[in-house]
Structure 1
């Protein structure tokens, strides 16, 4: 690519997660504490809010996609939370299973959940490196 054809990455738009049933997926993520930004059943999509940002997690219905139990090799999307260990307790109280107990990472703690179609979402904090987080 020449200099006049280059592009600049400005940030994330939406992260798309394929799901087999839009209603079931929205219910799962609502139990996990996510808020629906919009839902268009006729298009087979629903957007989940992530903080105050416009982009979010976009659930996209894929008719032939069946349930798939963990564990499996999969891309993971991690979202920042103030306290991952508290998030894990809240998830369990809501009946949402975590893949592992919260585990230590270089910046803090992380807990992961998997939806019924194998999408893995991690909730991670920056308690060990608060200067790197959104709320130092």
Structure 2
């Protein structure tokens, strides 16, 4: 881009997560509380809903991707919830094991879980800084 060209970031489109099995991934994320906005098996993708926003988590089939544990170097996607500690209890009740107990962050609490392919999702609240949250 030249010095006189610029652009404005308008917001997120989708966050793409590679998965090794689309059916297994949709089932896993369903247990974690994610609804499916749409699924295109012929393209190997499924879009998971995140709140009332149009962007979501896009699961993309990668046939060569085997299951693997999460690594700290893995990207993490954190999503806002009203109560992260309650979300952690709900995940466990649904058979989705959090990576650790909910932990304190500057704005509130966060609980993280990983899918079978090592993608890490954090559920975080703004209980310490409600003025920064969505409500």
Q: TM-score range with shorter-chain normalisation?
A: over 0.9
Aligned-residue Cα RMSD (Å) equals 0.8
Is 1:125 paired with 2:125? Answer: yes
Superposition TM-score, scaled by structure 2 size: 0.97
Task: Give the equivalent residue in structure 2 for 1:2.
Answer: 3
How do 1:79-90 residues align onto structure 2 when only pairs under 5 Å count?
79-90=79-90
Task: Give the equivalent residue in structure 2 for 1:43.
Answer: 43
Structure 1 ranges of 4+ moved more than 6 A: none
Number of residue pairs matched? Answer: 134
Secondary structure of 1:86's counterpart equals helix
Is 1:99 paired with 2:103? Answer: no
Secondary structure of 1:98's counterpart equals coil
CA deviation map 1:18-75 (0-9, x unaligned): 0000000000000000010000011000000011000000000000000002344211
Secondary structure of 1:70's counterpart equals coil
Structure 1, unaligned runs of 5 or more:
none
Task: Give the equivalent residue in structure 2 for 1:12.
Answer: 12
